[in-house]
Structure 1
Amino acid sequence: MTIEAVDPAEQRRSSRVEHNVDEVIKKKKKKKRKRCKRKVSIQVKRPVKMVSRTLQRLIDLCQQVFKGPGTVPSPSDVRRLRHILDFMEPEDVGLSRDLQFFQPKSVVVKENRRVSYATIYKCHNFSLCIFFLPATAVIPLHNHPGMTVFSKLLLGTMRIKSYDWADTQDSDNYDSPSKLKLARLKTNRCFRAPCETSVLYPTSGGNIHEFTAVTPCAVLDVLGPPYSKDDGRDCTYYRENLYGTLSNREEFTKTEDDGHRYGWFEEIEMPQESEMEGIPYLGPQIDESISY
């Protein structure tokens, strides 16, 4: 058997190479561990509370614009509010077009046709609510006493039919059936999101309106001041009567000489099938410590 002699210098060089390789491997593992730790820390530190900049700006402006019962925002303030609302998107209040509710063939929508609502914010001077209407759902004719209301259709297609009370002078020109009030048609057409914000005032702009969902819809309402039964701002519902059903004359909803269409309104109790369901608001929250 032959034994080869080992060169001590060569052995030292080999040991150094192995040592260097080990050091390189250790450094790579150490860097990898650091990168993993950074990723975990970012995920842990994600903010739990979401704040929508657009929604926050809307709330801040509402606090400036709405002065309480008996007041109406100035034309310039109305323009400022409409400007923000016109550019609002579903994501600003935590909604997505991909939600099952807004799918045309959604089983959930077909099974439940009740209108639901979520309150985003409410105070003495104003409130923000989102209304969810399944396809074919209706919010019947109702009024907004002493209120200015901004309605922004966020998703879907909706038919809006709105009226204002006719002037006293107009009412005197017609025989008013008992307990009925004369109203003049303001709007009767379909709106499809995205579209401009509609505004109604205490005595004009279509203060009495009806919503009919053509497709599943979400509409954001800003009401100033909000409904309050204690303050005399309770919601009243109406049934529209055709003149022809009350006498032998032709239907009263025909176009009159002044170019407007009219109808007789009768106060009714809220239809049982139209009762709404309140649900929690789960979208971006309001941070009252921030002001934009």
Structure 2
Amino acid sequence: MMVVDAGGLVEHVNNRVRYANKTMKKSNRSCKKRRREVVFPRVPEVLQQLFVSCREIFKGHGAAPPASDVNKLCNILDKMKPEDVGLSKNHFFKAAGAAKGTHPRVTYTTIYQCSDFSLCIFFLPEKAVIPLHNHPAMTVFTKLLLGTMHIKSYDWVHPKHSMPSSPMRLARLKANSVYTAPCDTSVLYPTTGGNMHEFTAMTPCAVLDVLGPPYSKQDGRDCSYYKDFPYSAFSSGDGDGDGETTATVREEEGDCFGWLEEIEVPENAEIDRIQYLGPQIVQTTTTC
């Protein structure tokens, strides 16, 4: 995804994002004394546990972790609450640019990142969209912390099926549902589980993502974007066109499939990077 540095988090009182638990006590003493009274967020046990487990599980390659490790991370993430990353349930996010007729701006912050995995949070104002995109050779855990979100996701149909003389490929619809926090963690895998997905915020949302490994153009994990079309738009279902493709999808199953066309980076894929001011994980001398 395209990321643009947008500085730090801003105050909730102006309809914008702020972190809830990084405070300073008021005092009439000297500046030196006041600095000593800054209260920094203490790392919640579940956040530290998530970091330690990710460091043990992710090894930087594109293979999915074994089922036991996937279940371990899901169990940790399922317990996580907004407060564990310094957020208040009363947060809401300004749809920057909406008054000008442009797309509401999505923001993004990184809790931790190394070559093997990353922990990040996406903030979506109401009606904001993270367009349909893929996760090559990646396993991604998504935990909706706040809000209500519509998620649509696809997996490629294998072997590869495409329209004759067309860049569009056939994909199976994996999810097309509305989720409201708190809800279970969802997982996508390098080739299954809805590797290509799209987020649409029905209310202001905060989403915690664990990516293993993270995007890296140098390592062949660049992000691609897609436009989806209904299966019926290009498939007659009577054997016309690509005979192999129409034979694999019965007419009554058409709603479970779609055609995906890779596109240039869309305008609403640009995401502002903001500073993470929540609880800081504790790193040991051994790092990935």
* Range into which the TM-score falls when normalised by the shorter chain: 0.7 to 0.9
Give the drift of 1:176.
4.2
Inter-partner Cα distance in structure 1 for 2:265 and 2:278: 29
Inter-partner Cα distance in structure 1 for 2:142 and 2:216: 19
Secondary structure at 2:217 match in 1 = coil
1:161/1:211 contact within 8 Å kept: yes
Which segments of 5 or more consecutive residues in structure 2 lack a partner in the other structure? 1-32, 239-245
Matched, 1:224 2:212: yes
- Post-superposition Cα deviations, 1:203-257, rounded to whole Å, max 9, x if no partner, equal 100000000000000000000000000111000000112355558779x9x9745
Inter-partner Cα distance in structure 2 for 1:147 and 1:210: 16
- One-letter identity of the residue aligned with 1:168: P
2:229/2:258 contact within 8 Å kept: yes
Secondary structure at 2:56 match in 1 = helix
- One-letter identity of the residue aligned with 2:221: R
Match of 1:157 in 2: 148
Matched, 1:124 2:115: yes
- One-letter identity of the residue aligned with 2:156: W
Which residues in structure 2 correspond to 1:1-292 (within 5 Å)? 44=36, 48=40, 50-101=42-93, 113-168=104-159, 171=161, 175-176=163-164, 178-243=166-231, 245-246=233-234, 256=251, 261-289=256-284
- Whichever structure has more strand as a proportion of its residues is 2
CA RMSD of aligned residues (A): 3.0
- Post-superposition Cα deviations, 1:244-272, rounded to whole Å, max 9, x if no partner, equal 5558779x9x9745686111111111111
Which segments of 5 or more consecutive residues in structure 1 lack a partner in the other structure? 1-40
Give the drift of 1:290.
9.6
Inter-partner Cα distance in structure 1 for 2:266 and 2:171: 21
1:100/1:108 contact within 8 Å kept: no
Inter-partner Cα distance in structure 1 for 2:214 and 2:92: 30
Give the drift of 1:113.
1.4
- Post-superposition Cα deviations, 1:113-158, rounded to whole Å, max 9, x if no partner, equal 1111001100010001100011111111100000000000000000
- Post-superposition Cα deviations, 1:25-73, rounded to whole Å, max 9, x if no partner, equal xxxxxxxxxxxxxxxx9x9567535322211110000000111123221
Distance 1:60 1:107, change over 3 A: closer
With the length of structure 1 as denominator, give the TM-score of the two structures. Answer: 0.75
Distance 1:186 1:110, change over 3 A: same
- Whichever structure has more helix as a proportion of its residues is 1
Q: Which runs of 4 or more aligned residues in structure 1 lie more than 3 Å from their structure 2 counterparts after TM superposition? A: 43-49, 106-112, 174-177, 242-250, 254-260
- One-letter identity of the residue aligned with 1:96: S
Larger gyration radius, structure 1 or structure 2: 1
Give the drift of 1:289.
3.4
> What percent identity do the matched residue pairs reach?
56
2:95/2:125 contact within 8 Å kept: no
Give the drift of 1:100.
4.1
1:49/1:285 contact within 8 Å kept: yes
- One-letter identity of the residue aligned with 2:78: D
Give the drift of 1:198.
0.1
